[in-house]
Amino acid sequence: MDQTSVRAALLLAHSGHEVSGRRLIRRLARRIEGPEIGSDAGDVVAAAALPRFAGAAELYRKKLASLARGSRPHPDLEVRVECAASALELGDDASIPFLLQVLRIGTYAGQADERDFTVTPQTAWARGSAAAALARRAGIPCAYQPDGSLADREREAARLAQMLAPAEPAP
């Protein structure tokens, strides 16, 4: 869980070989939370790389989604966000509510959220990554600033939530 793991994840990702993809998803499925802030970098790279593999939607969408939400998500928030973002990229819109919760960390609207993850003082990267994934899904440029004012962050989270809300069924 250091620079070596980042390098290994990059090499496996760059190969694009199906065995490499299986190794990356197997590593993520171990659900290991690192001892230090930056020790999750290799797993974040692994999660971000999986959508680029051939057949990723069929091979990895469900597995990434289960690492993002459900009864046993990944314990590391940054890795979990990247798994959700990758699942979303592969067509799994069920990750949207989790990513919106991440955006609302530290906001008034977020106080009502029932989270199944621990909030640490270092959430700017996770919030920014969640916002970027949601903006891509909405087809708009990302306007969310992780270090922006509380009002701006809350407004952008609400805007993305409104844009990505499931369509109401016709009567």
Q: What is the pTM of this model?
A: 0.91
Closest CA to 52 of 12, 81, 92, 79: 12
| DSSP structural state of residue 53 | S
Pick out the chain residues at pLDDT < 50: 167-171
Query: Apex CA 17: angle with CA 15 and CA 19, to 5°?
Result: 120
Q: Where are the beta strands (DSSP E) in 19-148?
A: none
Q: Provide the greatest CA pair distance for the chain.
A: 56
Please state the φ and ψ torsions of residue 132, each to the nearest 5 degrees: -60, -40
Exposure class string for 132-153: b at 16+ Cβ within 10 A, else e: bbbbebeeeebebebeeeeeeb
Please, which residues have CB within 8 angstroms of residue 139's CB and are 6 or more apart in sequence? none
- Which pLDDT belongs to residue 169? 44
